């Protein structure tokens, strides 16, 4: 099968489309013929080998035919022994490793059936970003109806889902983005939008019960000014490294506001919850650009510019 692999760390030039062995389905696993995948910040970090600790999971001292990708949508090709929820031909989506390939294999429990109102390309844009937003807002912050929630980086992959999920949970949502993305962020449900090129939300005097920070472009003391007493700051960015997240967490121990680092682990149950929101019309994926598999290095170059509106999708 063809897959997007890397044998060194670096920029998009280290990526190649290569013939590799098709995965064999094991007990309790599902083998999927991948129709589409999507890129995430984690793919960028894996490609670059930065933060440095990522190299222990990708390959040390260098990767060996490492297949990138976390999100996919496609149809079930085969199932292993004891798999009961799926059968060949079912249309599914998930977040799993080695997704940028013609076939991928993962445990049954991480899959869900694709939303009936989405194409494979649209479904592939959902898993990692939507689950991260759900775990941040519902599970970590416990967002309640009427709370004021600010999404910093509202036009990105996680941000676009976070705006919609926060609205579905009943919050009053403010989205922070650039000028060109204001209309899009309004269109997906934000009650208020702030153009960060013209206004600093940390100095506006407005206070929020929750700030989901997908950017990391302010000091923690700045976020505190924008938090209500007892409010929560959720750092969700790898660009500042773990030091940024740890510092926020330690400083919050001294103050009435809280910073909560969190780890989002995908699972089929939460994907099914997202599927139901999508089918109910409360959430929809925002796709910036679609590339062919052969154009994956070009897609990564675009992703590195950090101005993608929603998700970048690769069609197999």
Q: Are residues 105 and 133 in the same domain?
A: no
* CATH number assigned to the domain comprising residue 192: 3.40.50.720
Which token pair is 58? 């990708």
Which token pair is 277? 């929101």
Q: Are residues 133 and 113 in the same domain?
A: no
Q: Tell me how far apart the alpha carbons of residues 249 and 232 are, in angstroms, rounded to a whole number.
A: 11
Closest CA to 150 of 177, 132, 121: 177
266 in any annotated domain:
no
Q: Tell me how far apart the alpha carbons of residues 291 and 276 are, in angstroms, rounded to a whole number.
A: 27
Give, for all 316 residues of the chain, the pLDDT tens digit: 999 999 999 999 999 999 999 999 999 999 999 999 999 988 988 999 988 888 888 988 899 999 999 999 999 999 999 999 999 999 999 999 999 999 999 999 999 999 999 999 999 999 999 999 999 999 999 999 999 999 999 999 999 999 999 999 999 999 999 999 999 999 999 999 999 999 999 999 999 999 999 998 888 889 889 999 989 999 887 544 445 455 555 554 444 445 555 566 778 999 999 999 999 999 999 999 999 999 999 999 998 886 789 999 999 9
205 in any annotated domain:
yes
264 in any annotated domain:
no
Cα-atom radius of gyration of the chain, to the nearest Å?
19
165 in any annotated domain:
yes
Q: Are residues 51 and 116 in the same domain?
A: yes
Q: Is 145 exposed, middle or buried (0-12, 13-18, 19+ CB in 10 A)?
A: exposed
Q: Are residues 213 and 306 in the same domain?
A: no
Domain that holds residue 249: 129-259
279 in any annotated domain:
no
List, in order, residues 6 or more apart from 240 with CB less than 8 Å away: 216
Q: Tell me how far apart the alpha carbons of residues 220 and 161 are, in angstroms, rounded to a whole number.
A: 24
99 in any annotated domain:
yes
Q: Tell me how far apart the alpha carbons of residues 204 and 245 are, in angstroms, rounded to a whole number.
A: 24
Q: Are residues 161 and 59 in the same domain?
A: no
Q: Domain total for the chain?
A: 2
Q: Tell me how far apart the alpha carbons of residues 285 and 157 are, in angstroms, rounded to a whole number.
A: 9
Closest CA to 226 of 194, 250, 197, 264: 194
Q: Tell me how far apart the alpha carbons of residues 29 and 47 are, in angstroms, rounded to a whole number.
A: 27
Q: Are residues 107 and 194 in the same domain?
A: no
């Amino acid at each position: 099968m063809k897959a997007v692999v890397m044998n060194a760390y670096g920029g998009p030039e280290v990526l190649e489309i290569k013939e590799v062995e098709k995965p064999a389905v094991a007990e309790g696993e599902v083998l999927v013929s991948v129709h589409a995948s999507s890129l995430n910040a984690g793919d960028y970090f894996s490609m670059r080998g930065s933060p440095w600790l990522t190299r222990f999971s990708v390959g040390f001292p260098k990767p060996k035919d490492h297949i990138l990708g976390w999100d996919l949508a496609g149809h079930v090709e085969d199932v292993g022994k004891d798999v009961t929820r799926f059968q060949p031909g079912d249309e599914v989506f998930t977040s799993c490793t080695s997704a940028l390939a013609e076939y991928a294999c993962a445990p049954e429990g991480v899959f869900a059936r694709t939303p009936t109102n989405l194409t494979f390309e649209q479904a592939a844009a959902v898993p990692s970003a939507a689950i991260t937003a759900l775990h941040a807002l519902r599970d970590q912050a416990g967002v309640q109806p009427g709370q004021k929630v600010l999404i910093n980086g509202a036009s990105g992959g996680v941000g676009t889902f976070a705006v919609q999920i926060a609205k579905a949970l009943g919050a009053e949502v403010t989205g922070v983005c650039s000028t060109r993305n204001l209309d899009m962020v309004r269109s997906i449900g934000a009650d208020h939008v702030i153009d960060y090129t013209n206004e600093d939300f940390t100095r506006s005097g407005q206070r929020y019960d929750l700030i989901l920070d997908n950017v990391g472009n302010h000091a923690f003391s700045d976020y505190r000014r924008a938090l209500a007493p007892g409010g929560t700051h959720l750092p969700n960015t790898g660009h500042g490294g773990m030091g940024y997240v740890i510092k926020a967490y330690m400083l919050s121990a001294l103050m009435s506001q809280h910073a909560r680092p969190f780890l989002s682990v995908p699972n089929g149950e939460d994907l099914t919850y997202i599927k139901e929101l999508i089918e109910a019309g409360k959430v929809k994926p925002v796709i910036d650009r679609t590339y062919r598999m052969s154009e994956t290095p070009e897609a990564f170059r675009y992703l590195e510019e950090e101005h993608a509106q929603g998700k970048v999708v690769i069609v197999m």
